[in-house]
Amino acid sequence: MILCLDAGNTRLKWGVREGAAWRAQGACAHAECVGLAGRLPAGIERILACNVAGSVMAQRIETLAAKLGVPLEWFRSTAACCGVINAYDDPARLGADRWAALIGARGWHAGPALVVMAGTATTIDVLDAAGRFRGGLILPGLDLMRQALARNTAGLPQASGTYRDLPTNTDDAIESGILMATLGAIERMAARACRPVSADFCVLLSGGAADLLAPHIELPLMRIDNLVLEGLARTMFC
């Protein structure tokens, strides 16, 4: 069994993979990483970790590996992996989480796609039918947008509104604005990078804010939990 770890900016997502199936999955706060050792099934043979949360988190993962007594492998971006080609100007500079998500997406969908990771930041990446990552966007996640408006304006609250097509109160105006901004980026990227939209085109959506976005995406959609973990697991078989 292999323990796959996705250390994002907000949480640590984990999954225990045995063959083609997940034995267990979960998430925890960064500070709870080392304590994860007592919650995992017995028989883990190694750890494959993707970390974009900095050096302190890397040390915690190393401590977890030492506590479990298993080897640790860091997942990093490369020029190609599992049939996906990395066309970033410098492939090694692509975020490891984005690269893992692209590899996971290719395992779920063989056609052209937008891979949308809606977390602390939102990334919108283009994957063509040949498996080539052509480029993508990074923008603030929904929570960051809310926080920025509340922190940097004198009259706007930390909003808890509802999406409306034509909002008539401030909280709904903020919530609708941040959702429309993100949805607009998704739709614009699809129109520019995937024109014409083919019959097998799909948006693959994952991340903590995916449930807020999914009902409003007016494109073919596949909602996938833990796409980074799916990508890490896929690298074990290709």
Check 6, 97, 143, 225 and give the catalytic one: 97
Show the tokens assigned to 166. 């034509």
* C-alpha 228 chain-centroid distance: 6
Contact between 216 and 179 (Cβ < 8 Å): yes
Residues 16, 19: Cα–Cα separation, whole Å: 10
Active site (annotated) includes residue 143: no
- Nearest in space to 1 (alpha carbons), one of 67, 50, 68, 82: 68
Count CB-CB contacts under 10 A for residue 113.
26
Show the tokens assigned to 54. 């900095």
CA angle, residues 102, 39, 61, in degrees to nearest 5: 55
* Positions marked catalytic: 97
